[in-house]
Amino acid sequence: MADDIVVRDARADDAAGIARIILDNGARYQRLAPDLFQPPAEEGLVDFIGTDSDWRDAPSNLALVALLDGDVAGYLEASIHEPLETARYQTQRELAHRRLAISFVGTADAYKRRGVATQLVDAAEAWGRKHRAVVAVCDTWLGSPMSVPFWEERMGYTRHAVILRKRL
């Protein structure tokens, strides 16, 4: 099934498909933890995504779609983070190196479990290596029954930090 997936750069005319993915993901997370997540506003979302070419076109950013059966089945956003000028004063070694930061991966509900996210992350990692990134980082909600196993078991990522939260 994964052989039928086409991964390419996202374009403005993909906005409706990307919006559907964002809305699907938002609704799923909101059902899982309504105190933490809300569904994104639907009104204006397609226009917001379609007019985000400044971000998409920046050389340090990556926006990919995965097409399956002619539909936008998945979407990924990532960026290259340059080494920190202050890295020699930091305790984390990776801050002295170029990093690939994956900020969003989503698959449309109709295409879950078909290799869409895997192909997107593989493509992002290849792009990161091409841009001399030495490590890839991402974050995800620990309560997710899908994303944690995806990142750890399928993609081989390991936990290196915990984000703590306290409601004030």
Residue 165 is predicted with a pLDDT of 84
Q: Give the per-residue pLDDT at 53.
A: 87
What CATH number does the domain containing 19 carry?
3.40.630.30
| Total of domains in the chain | 1
Q: For residue 3, what pLDDT band results from cuts at 50, 70 and 90?
A: low
152 has a pLDDT exceeding 70? yes
pLDDT tens-digit series, residues 100-121: 999 999 999 999 999 999 999 9
- Mean pLDDT for 82-110 is 94
Token digits of residue 34? 């309504």
The predicted pLDDT at position 19 comes to 97
Q: Report the Cα 38 to chain-centroid distance in Å.
A: 18
Percentage of the chain surpassing pLDDT 70? 98
At residue 1, does pLDDT exceed 60? no
pLDDT tens digits, one per residue of 55-71:
999 999 999 999 998 99
Is 88 within a domain? yes
**162 occurs within a structural domain:** no
Closest CA to 75 of 100, 106, 48: 106
Question: Quick check: is 116 in a domain?
Answer: yes
Residue 128 and residue 163 in contact, taking contact as beta carbons nearer than 8 Å: no
Is 70 exceeded by the pLDDT of residue 25?
Answer: yes
In a domain, 52, yes or no: yes
Q: Which residues make beta-bridge pairs with 137?
A: 101
Who wins on pLDDT, 8 or 165? 8
Q: Is residue 27 part of a domain?
A: yes
Whether 164 is covered by a domain: the verdict is no
Residue 56 lies in a domain: yes
Measured between alpha carbons, how far is 157 from 124 in angstroms, rounded to an integer?
14
Q: Please give the residue range of the domain that contains residue 60.
A: 2-154
In a domain, 119, yes or no: yes
Residue 2, pLDDT > 80, answer no
What is the sign, positive or negative, of the torsion defined by CA atoms of 34, 37, 41, 45?
negative
Q: How many CA atoms lie within 13 A of 105 on its CB side?
A: 27
Could you tell me which residue, 62 or 53, shows the higher pLDDT?
62
